[in-house]
Amino acid sequence: MTERAVPAPATSAAPQRSSPPIDATSVGADALEALVTRIRAWGAELGFDAVRIADVDLSHAEAGLLAWIAAGHHGDMDYMANHGTRRARPAELVPGTVRAIVARMPYLPAESPENWRAHEFARLDDPATAVISVYARGRDYHKVLRSRLQQLASRIEQALGAFGYRVFTDSAPVMEVALAAQGGLGWRGKHTLLLDREGGSMFFLGEILVDIPLPADPPETPRCGQCTRCIDICPTQAILAPYRMDARRCISYLTIEHKGAIPEALRAPMGNRVYGCDDCQLACPWNKFAHRATLPDFDVRNGFDAPDMAALFLWTEAEFNRRLEGSPIRRIGHERWLRNLAVGLGNSLRAASAAHGDAALAARIRTALHARRHDASELVREHIEWALAQDVTPVS
């Protein structure tokens, strides 16, 4: 997910700082250049398809960050506002930081067909199927990337000696996309995600803040041109303008970060998307170049490339926790999982119960919804009642 438009809070690796900052004059420019070459090679061995070096001055991004927060576009994600401008000042977060090693790791499952985007669009039209964002169908990426970045830092330490560093992946409070773009790992697309002309946007980002004055890479030239496909396709019009995202309307935010009731006006546009949303990435022409994952961690689990929505809705909390162990989905909890599925089932019931719909599917959805109609959670019950009200079975 390149940094998601709605990032998930996570812990970062503990800071490692056991020596004074590295003195560039004592190491030498040639030695630092050689070290960067080795860092990139080690990164490739660890599953990263690109590693760059970024300068950590993000002062140019501060005004946009503060305006976004002031407009309330971060919604309930208070952690986005808590650190204010520190998000744009890595050296304040980890004193001594002068560079960031920025890396990306592809997550598109290795078995994805050549026309994978067409397959994903087809799933959105199947009312029996629950659509889960591609990045969340495998293992929790936080653990995978954090471990690999730590291994990369350890290799640097073996070669250079002790140095100060801290590992992050999708964790507060770092402006990952701005940092990655500054290091030439890609450019920020109009959907706010990082894009690369050779790899699209189907990748995770991670970084190591370091006190080594490595030679920084230049930024990449933006290449979106006049294209607005990501803006045009957004089901909830969450992309207000190029590079401006209102998280409160984003399906990824609503299904993952938002803890309360989903606004009724946004339920129908959600369709059968029950965890995250990939529409803006599916529409992006650059994703025809998306790389496949090289790690088995991102292979599809639990049949999540085309799961039966009604069956998922009947999972008990124990089954939810057991099946989703090691999955990023587990962190939203069983209650919000059911809330999301109830909305999806309501939208599917509307389609299946319509004239020329699928009567058998409509009956199965009704049965699943009624089975949980007296759920202990008021939040779940309210969404179930909404879902049942979407039944448009013609009166004979």
The verdict on whether residue 49 carries a ligand-binding annotation is no
Residues belonging to the chain:
396
Measure the CA dihedral 189/133/239/82, to 10°. Answer: -90
Count Cβ atoms within 10 A of the Cβ of residue 70 and give its class: 0-12 exposed, 13-18 middle, 19 or more buried.
Answer: exposed
Pair 173, 83: CB distance under 8 Å: yes
Q: Which amino acid is at 246?
A: D
The verdict on whether residue 143 carries a ligand-binding annotation is no
Structure tokens at 279: 């529409």
Residue 133 has φ and ψ, to the nearest 5°, of -50, 140
Separation of alpha carbons 200 and 283, rounded Å: 11
Choose, from 49, 170, 279, 305, the residue flagged as catalytic: 170
Structure tokens at 19: 């020596």
The verdict on whether residue 185 carries a ligand-binding annotation is no
Structure tokens at 74: 């971060």
Separation of alpha carbons 279 and 247, rounded Å: 15
Separation of alpha carbons 166 and 99, rounded Å: 11
- Any idea which residue has 């659509």 for tokens? 131
The verdict on whether residue 224 carries a ligand-binding annotation is yes
| Residue spans of alpha helices (H) in the chain | 24-27, 29-45, 62-70, 78-82, 90-93, 116-124, 141-160, 176-182, 229-233, 251-252, 264-270, 279-283, 309-313, 317-323, 333-353, 359-371, 378-388
Q: Reduced to 3 DSSP states, what percent helix, strand and coil does the chain have, rounded to the nearest 5?
A: 45, 10, 40
Separation of alpha carbons 378 and 384, rounded Å: 10
The verdict on whether residue 230 carries a ligand-binding annotation is yes
The verdict on whether residue 288 carries a ligand-binding annotation is no
The verdict on whether residue 211 carries a ligand-binding annotation is no
Pair 178, 87: CB distance under 8 Å: no
- Any idea which residue has 């690369």 for tokens? 196
The verdict on whether residue 166 carries a ligand-binding annotation is no
The verdict on whether residue 117 carries a ligand-binding annotation is no
The verdict on whether residue 299 carries a ligand-binding annotation is no
CB atoms near residue 125 (< 10 Å) = 10
The verdict on whether residue 280 carries a ligand-binding annotation is yes
The verdict on whether residue 277 carries a ligand-binding annotation is yes
The verdict on whether residue 252 carries a ligand-binding annotation is yes
The verdict on whether residue 123 carries a ligand-binding annotation is no
Enumerate the β-bridge partners of residue 129: 308
| 170 is a catalytic site residue | yes
The verdict on whether residue 249 carries a ligand-binding annotation is no
Binding-site entries? 87, 170, 194, 205, 224, 227, 230, 234, 250, 252, 259, 277-278, 280, 284
Binding-site entries for [4Fe-4S] cluster? 224, 227, 230, 234, 250, 277, 280, 284
Binding-site entries for cob(II)alamin? 87, 170, 194, 205, 252, 277-278
Binding-site entries for tRNA? 259
Any idea which residues carry the catalytic annotation?
170
